[in-house]
Amino acid sequence: MFNQESLKELIKKIVAIQAPSGFEEPMMRFLKNELEPLVDEVYDTPRGNIIGIQKSKDPNALKIAIVAHMDQIGLTVFNIDSTGFIRFKKIGGIVSRALQGQHVRILTEKGAVYGVIGLKPGHVTPASEANTIPSVDEMYIDVGARSREEATKLGIKMGLPISYSMKPLELAYGYMATPSLDDSCGIATLIILANEFKKNPIKQSIYYVGTVEEEIGLRGAEVALNGLDLDLAIAIDTTSAGFQPDVNMREIIYEVGKGPAIHIAELGAGIKIESQLLVRWLEKIALKHKIPYQIGFQHGGTDAMALMQTGSGIPSCSIGLPRHYSHSPIETFQLNDLENLIILLQKAVSEINDDFKLNRI
Ligand SMILES: [Zn+2]
């Protein structure tokens, strides 16, 4: 059985992998290698999704997908100016307010080039600008190059991905702050569950699915399950938590430390309802095993909403790991919650029996 210490080490290993949306190859290789000894079959698709399968011998077994996204938010080089400073665009919903003063790494073919996101000296910032954030188009990265040639010599060119360069930080009481917790915690969940079900095989067939480009519109998940004839899918992702000084409870009801979040629905441009059958099933399992959990609404979409629309429709839902400071380099969570999330899924999937009905009426 896994424990919090091994979970912490696994998270540290995964967040060290840089995989902004569209540039997921390092995470694809990692996940495929990790799954290889644990599953009967694992492959990557040309689109970039990874599918690992533990096949049941029972022809009536359900086919269940457990899904996490491999990509993370980031930036990309838009241009290098004549003085060697680098302009960039966002990949996904990186928080603009968290950018200035950050350490970043530009992921070149020769390896990472480190830089900082500069800002106007405080001493010459007029009062009118002091409390405002410049637009991302006005921001720039300083890698130490003072001409375009110097930057180019380092391997920097247009279109390269850029990621935060900050290490995980352990806080008191089992809290941890790290960039790209979203969705390293989901990838960790896939690996741990594949290990558990390898050691203690279950009746159902399990598909471990790593998707690409979630952060730029659930794009990998839209096609990941096509042709696989699955019965149900569960996406694992982070979810925004409130209970911090600048969030009103009316906005977010999830709390870090109170257990995994079972989402009833996802809020975005409109509301999207998850499979209520799966929501009720997860809640029942949590209650049965006295696993702490929360139930509520997810802000923003997860892969579940795309999976649901695959083929003729796959009942899907998502479970969230509550974390503070979403899409910043200090996404902060509690290991307890991740441990409980994994236990909840493990119990839910392994205890599905013949009475489990997927039809709604
Ligand atoms: Zn995510």
| Domain coordinates in residue numbering, the chain | 4-72+180-350, 74-164
109-129: average pLDDT? 94
The pLDDT of residue 355: 83
Q: How far is the CA of 182 from the centre of ligand 1 (A)?
A: 5
- The predicted pLDDT at position 269 comes to 85
- How far is ligand 1, taken at its centre, from the CA of residue 72, in Å? 7
Neighbour-count burial of 257, counting CB atoms closer than 10 A to its CB (0-12 exposed, 13-18 middle, 19+ buried) = middle
Percent of the chain beyond pLDDT 70? 100
On the question of pLDDT at 253 being above 80, the answer is yes
Contacting residues for 158 by C-beta, under 8 A, at least 6 apart: 77, 78, 79, 80
CA 43 to chain centre: 20
Span of 5-14, 32-41, 263-272, 349-358 with lowest mean pLDDT? 349-358
pLDDT in tens, 126-155: 999 889 999 999 999 999 999 999 999 999
User: Would the pTM of this model clear 0.75, i.e. be above it?
Assistant: yes
Ligand 1 centroid from CA 218, angstroms: 9
Q: What is the pLDDT of residue 351?
A: 94
pLDDT score, position 239: 97
CA-to-CA distance for 65 and 210, rounded, in angstroms?
10
116 contact partners, CB below 8 Å, separation of at least 6: 101, 102, 103, 104, 141, 142
Residue 250: what pLDDT? Answer: 84
Ligand 1 center from residue 206 Cα (angstroms): 21
Determine the average pLDDT of the residues in 304-315.
Answer: 95
CA gap 42, 30 in Å, rounded: 12
Q: What is the mean pLDDT of residues 51-57?
A: 96
The whole-angstrom separation of Cα 256 and Cα 175 is 9
Would you please indicate which residues are annotated as catalytic (active-site) residues? Answer: 214
pLDDT band at 122 (very low <50, low <70, confident <90, very high): confident
User: How remote is the CA of residue 91 from the centroid of ligand 1, in Å?
Assistant: 13
Amino acid 134: pLDDT: 94
What 3 state SS string does the chain have?
CCCHHHHHHHHHHHHCCCCECCCCHHHHHHHHHHHHHHCCEEEECCCCCEEEEECCCCCCCCEEEEEEECCECEEEEEEECCCCCEEEEEECCCCHHHCCCCEEEEEECCEEEEEEECCCCHHHCCHHHHCCCCCHHHCCEECCCCCHHHHHHCCCCCCCEEEECCCCEECHHHEEEECCHHHHHHHHHHHHHHHHHHHCCCCCEEEEEEECCCCCCCHHHHHHCCCCCCCEEEEEEEEECCCCCCCCCCCCCCCCCCCCEEEEEEECCCEEECCHHHHHHHHHHHHHCCCCCEEEEEECCCHHHHHCCCCCCCCEEEEEEEEECCCCCCEEEEHHHHHHHHHHHHHHHHCCCCCCCCCCC
Compute the distance from residue 315 Cα to the ligand 1 centre, in Å.
Answer: 20
The position carrying tokens 């003085």 is 83
Residue-wise pLDDT for 266-299, tens only, equals 998 899 999 999 999 999 999 999 999 999 999 9
Query: Do 235 and 221 touch, CB atoms closer than 8 A?
Result: yes
* pLDDT tens digits, one per residue of 202-242: 999 999 999 999 999 999 999 999 999 999 999 999 999 99
Nearest Cα residue to 211 out of 201, 198, 226: 226
Band of residue 2 on the pLDDT scale cut at 50, 70, 90 = confident
Average pLDDT over residues 49-67: 95
4-72+180-350 and 74-164 share one fold = no
Residue closest to 263 by CA, chosen among 240, 229, 232, 245: 240
At which residue do the structure tokens 């009720």 appear? Answer: 280
Residue 156 clears pLDDT 80, i.e. is over it: yes
Asked if residue 1 has pLDDT above 80, the reply is no
According to the model, what pLDDT value does residue 248 have? 87
CA of 245 to the centre of ligand 1 (A): 23
Averaged over 91-110, what is the pLDDT? 96
CATH superfamily of this structure's domain 74-164: Peptidase M42, domain 2 (2.40.30.40)
- From the candidate CATH numbers 3.30.365.10, 2.60.40.10, 3.40.630.10, 3.50.50.60, the one assigned to the domain spanning 4-72+180-350: 3.40.630.10
For the chain, percent of residues with pLDDT exceeding 90:
94
Q: What is the mean pLDDT of the segment spanning 45-56?
A: 97
